[in-house]
Amino acid sequence: MFPDSRGVSPSVMAEITSYALELWHQHRIPILMSTLFILALLRIYLHSTEKTPGLLAVPKTYKIKAEKPKAEAKPDASERTLPSATAGDEKKDKIKQGPRRIKGDIAKKARGSAYATSEGRKIQVLVFFSSLTASTEKITQSFAQELAATLGCSTGEESDRKFLAPKVLDLAEVDYDEYFITPPKTETENTDLVYLFLIPSYNIDTINDSFLEHLQETHHDFRIDTSPLAPILGYSVFGFGDREGWPTEEEGFCVQAKDVDRWMAKLSGRKRAYPLGMGDWKGDGKERLSEWQVGLVDVLKHVERTGGLGDGVPGSGDPLESDEEEEAEDDGEVVLDETSNPKSQGRGSGSLEDVEDIGRIMALSGADGSSGKKQAAPLAVDFTTDGKPVARKTAAAVVKEMVPKGSPTYAALTKQGYSIVGSHSGVKICRWTKSALRGRGSCYKYSFYGINSHQCMESTPSLSCSNKCVFCWRHGTNPVGTTWRWVVDPPDLIFDGIKENHYKKIKMLRGVPGVRAERFAEAMRIRHCALSLVGEPIFYPHINEFLGMLHGERISSFLVCNAQHPDQLAALQHVTQLYVSIDASNRESLRRIDRPLHRDFWERFQRCLAILRERRFRQRTVFRLTLVKGFNVEDEAEGYADLVDKGLPCFIEVKGVTYCGTSTSSSAGLTMANVPFYQEVCDFVLALEKALLRRGLRYGIAAEHAHSCCILLASERFRVDGRWHTLIDYDKFFQLLEEKGPHGDFTPEEYMGAATPEWATWGRGGFDPRDQRVDRKGRPIEAT
């Protein structure tokens, strides 16, 4: 062996090598592991210190979200520039064209606000249709043309126009992946999409089935976000069907349009821009379509102006989500009991300052309440004794507002869903209005008197009341008092304010699942006002002027008073129907149940009955009985019959109390056990009918609405040729009013309407046959 070039002998080399090998074999695992570990550490270090250019594989919406400084902050001008590409963005856009299937909560969080940054952006309406026998195709083409004309769409060169010409797309031809996994890339930069659908229904296999299957699969595909179409501005569906073959929705009328609407709601993150419309192609199809088109154009113009869908609709940027299926019943809500709060405004001191001269209040309140207008002389105010003024303190130097903004009362009422108008009026959408909008039934006033709940506005010009009834679901939230001692708002301020707020709330229901386009369009015209919300409407010193404004717009009026203000009642002008609450049949029971503030409550009550009796040939008068088991039902039928004998009302409405479950109701000794079953209400009504007959009073059971536990007895005056006529001829009422004036001499019979519908008569249940009954979870209830 020769030494190598470095002078190391081969044997030594071999020894070293074999030693190294042996060493390697012994320690190779720890060596390898440590090396790997060090490399991994190095990689992590380098990666974390590297300057990344942003999230490259996510779409722009994600970037908007990332850049938003605060979740709730309104987008500012700088955000508006986001959608237009910057140099850096170009690269991202390229990368964005990669896989379209993107997991993540992209749109949900970006929705709404993203579109509020719409300056300079265009709107592209895509009108999808399907058609087997070509009728929908034809209709869609002309629909798109009309839409283009109404929206003033640009043809391409007119770059200043917001709306691009609508594109009509046949669902039999489009690639679903292109439009219904994520929104497609648009030809023009900065374009937002609106999807419209015109869908006929078929109970045979058609393209509709593949389309619906695709929507369903997309929604359920775990690789895709559950609302991948959320980046679109909004969508709406119109369905065609045939009522001859499929008369009702339960039988399949427009069933596939309903399905498209439902799946699109899920895929778009509930961006229903306008309610589902439905039409019978042989009947009202065209009419319904143009109605839907008008509503839709309204929304699109709103989007054009504001960049969002508007209040209540997801995507509008408004925090209020309007799609909750479950709606709190008015009487099921937790209500604050302000009476128990010593800090309650205006009542903490316990001093009720009687003010003699309402004119002085007016003068004092002019600054903030009267809007500078001259007020007509208000009605006289009540005092705590029977009609006679008592010695009273001088008017307070400063007259307060009844429900000032920022007061606990204001907060409590708005929390319960009231919109406070001015300083003492309120308006609220009742649950029946919502129910009727969704085709789930109107309240008993539809069955008895023909009032559409979706065209009914529930309001009051006085949130204050002079009773504290145990069953009142407002439970002391509202202020109480025996006299008007607050600032008086002018009637036009109240009238305009309640209408505005009512319409605003109706509009918020646009995106609610199940709202019918037809009903929604009708709801934009108030036809009736129920002055029974909370408080005592005739307490308001300008109630007559206020009623004049309602009637001037042909809005009928049902006014409910608590039989505690005889002077105001005597001065009241014509209302369409005048109610007096009859909560008990005798003094003690009335004191226990109504807890009146007036010392002479029973005398006041009696005077009101006398006024009603005297009015019975000039007004449609009604006794409203609310039955509370254990309080005013047992053995009281005879007593009520005596009261009927005194007041001789045209009608007697008997209703079971609804339990509100608040601390006030329980402290008043009220529990679920006090709520009568419908059968018990029926038994009471039968007993009352007998008691009336025994007295020779000619009344009979005319109608029922079992769904709201309400039964109507009517005077034989409203029975013609053996049939009850409880409905109202509203046109005739307004005609009489216009001819004869607000205190004119005309009788209720003169505006008596058509016969009560068969389905509403005693023994038929009274549920509106146009609608579908549902249980509390929205499941259909089969007719019994």
Binding site for ligand SF4 (CB under 6 A): 430, 432-433, 443, 445, 453, 456, 458, 530
3-class secondary-structure state, position 761: strand
Strand pairing category for 425-428 and 419-421: antiparallel
CB of 252 to ligand FMN, least distance (A): 4
Q: Does 201 contact ligand FMN by CB under 6 A?
A: yes
CB of 288 to ligand FMN, least distance (A): 12
Asked if 706 contacts 768 with a C-beta cutoff of 8 angstroms, the reply is no
CB of 247 to ligand SF4, least distance (A): 26
CB of 176 to ligand SF4, least distance (A): 42
Nearer to ligand FMN, 189 or 244 (CB): 244
Q: Does 211 contact ligand FMN by CB under 6 A?
A: no
Among 46, 204, 398, 672, binds ligand FMN (CB under 6 A): 204
Q: Does 136 contact ligand FMN by CB under 6 A?
A: yes
Asked if 780 contacts 773 with a C-beta cutoff of 8 angstroms, the reply is yes
**Spatial separation of the C-alpha atoms in residues 645 and 116, rounded to whole Å:** 63
Q: Does 205 contact ligand FMN by CB under 6 A?
A: no
Secondary structure (DSSP) of 458-476: EEES---BS---TT-TTTT
Nearer to ligand FMN, 365 or 772 (CB): 772
Nearer to ligand FMN, 252 or 387 (CB): 252
Q: Does 241 contact ligand FMN by CB under 6 A?
A: yes
Nearer to ligand FMN, 278 or 692 (CB): 278
Asked if 591 contacts 601 with a C-beta cutoff of 8 angstroms, the reply is yes
How far is C-alpha 366 from the chain's CA centre? 34
CB of 212 to ligand FMN, least distance (A): 13
CB neighbour class for 216 (10 Å; exposed up to 12, middle 13-18, buried from 19)? middle
Burial profile 481-495: b = 16 or more Cβ within 10 angstroms, e = fewer:
bbbbbbbbbbbebbb
Sign (positive or negative) of CA dihedral 505, 507, 513, 519: positive
Q: Residue 433: name its binding partner from ligand FMN, ligand SF4, none (Cβ under 5 to 8 Å by kind).
A: ligand SF4
Rounded to whole angstroms, what are the CA distances from 69 to 59, 65, 66, 336, 696?
A: 18, 9, 8, 36, 77
Q: Residue 432: name its binding partner from ligand SF4, ligand FMN, none (Cβ under 5 to 8 Å by kind).
A: ligand SF4
- Supply φ then ψ for residue 276, to 5 degrees: -60, 130
Among 75, 83, 112, 200, binds ligand FMN (CB under 6 A): 200
Q: Does 52 contact ligand FMN by CB under 6 A?
A: no
Of 129-137, 418-426, 661-669, 701-709, the window that binds ligand FMN (rule: CB under 6 A) is 129-137
CB of 443 to ligand SF4, least distance (A): 3
The three-state DSSP-derived secondary structure of 680-716 is: HHHHHHHHHHHHHHHCCCCEEEEEEEHHHCEEEEEEH
Q: Which helix (H) or strand (E) is 122 found in, with range?
A: strand 122-129
Supply the angle between the helices 207-220 and 255-267 in degrees, to the nearest 10: 30
**Spatial separation of the C-alpha atoms in residues 559 and 116, rounded to whole Å:** 43
CB of 447 to ligand SF4, least distance (A): 10
Task: Identify the bridge partners of residue 529 per DSSP, sorted by sequence position.
Answer: 457, 557
Q: Residue 458: name its binding partner from ligand FMN, ligand SF4, none (Cβ under 5 to 8 Å by kind).
A: ligand SF4
Q: Does 238 contact ligand FMN by CB under 6 A?
A: no
Query: Measured at CB, which residue is nearest to ligand FMN?
Result: 241
Q: Does 261 contact ligand FMN by CB under 6 A?
A: no
Q: Does 636 contact ligand FMN by CB under 6 A?
A: no
Q: Does 255 contact ligand FMN by CB under 6 A?
A: yes
Nearer to ligand FMN, 255 or 273 (CB): 255
**Spatial separation of the C-alpha atoms in residues 66 and 60, rounded to whole Å:** 10
- Cα atoms found within 13 Å of the Cα of residue 203, Cβ hemisphere only: 9
Name every residue whose Cβ is closer than 8 Å to that of residue 376 and which is 6 or more positions away in sequence.
542, 545
| Sheet-wide strand order for 122-129 | 163-170, 122-129, 191-200, 234-241, 277-280
Q: Does 254 contact ligand FMN by CB under 6 A?
A: yes
**Spatial separation of the C-alpha atoms in residues 594 and 583, rounded to whole Å:** 7
Among 52, 78, 97, 133, binds ligand FMN (CB under 6 A): 133
Q: Residue 281: name its binding partner from ligand FMN, ligand SF4, none (Cβ under 5 to 8 Å by kind).
A: ligand FMN
How far is C-alpha 751 from the chain's CA centre? 32
Of 245-253, 440-448, 714-722, 757-765, the window that binds ligand FMN (rule: CB under 6 A) is 245-253
Q: Residue 445: name its binding partner from ligand SF4, ligand FMN, none (Cβ under 5 to 8 Å by kind).
A: ligand SF4
Q: Which two tokens stand for residue 295?
A: 């509503």
Among 179, 235, 253, 446, binds ligand FMN (CB under 6 A): 253
CB of 746 to ligand SF4, least distance (A): 24
3-class secondary-structure state, position 124: strand
Q: Does 203 contact ligand FMN by CB under 6 A?
A: yes
Eight-state DSSP code of residue 453: G
Q: Does 279 contact ligand FMN by CB under 6 A?
A: no
Q: Residue 443: name its binding partner from ligand FMN, ligand SF4, none (Cβ under 5 to 8 Å by kind).
A: ligand SF4
Task: Identify the bridge partners of residue 238 per DSSP, sorted by sequence position.
Answer: 198, 277
Q: Residue 627: name its binding partner from ligand FMN, ligand SF4, none (Cβ under 5 to 8 Å by kind).
A: none
Q: Does 207 contact ligand FMN by CB under 6 A?
A: no
Nearer to ligand SF4, 309 or 710 (CB): 710
418-447: which residues touch ligand FMN (CB under 6 A)? none
How far is C-alpha 35 from the chain's CA centre? 66
**Spatial separation of the C-alpha atoms in residues 55 and 59, rounded to whole Å:** 9
Q: Does 202 contact ligand FMN by CB under 6 A?
A: yes
Q: Residue 778: name its binding partner from ligand SF4, ligand FMN, none (Cβ under 5 to 8 Å by kind).
A: none
Q: Does 134 contact ligand FMN by CB under 6 A?
A: yes
Binding site for ligand FMN (CB under 6 A): 131-136, 200-204, 240-242, 245-246, 252-255, 281
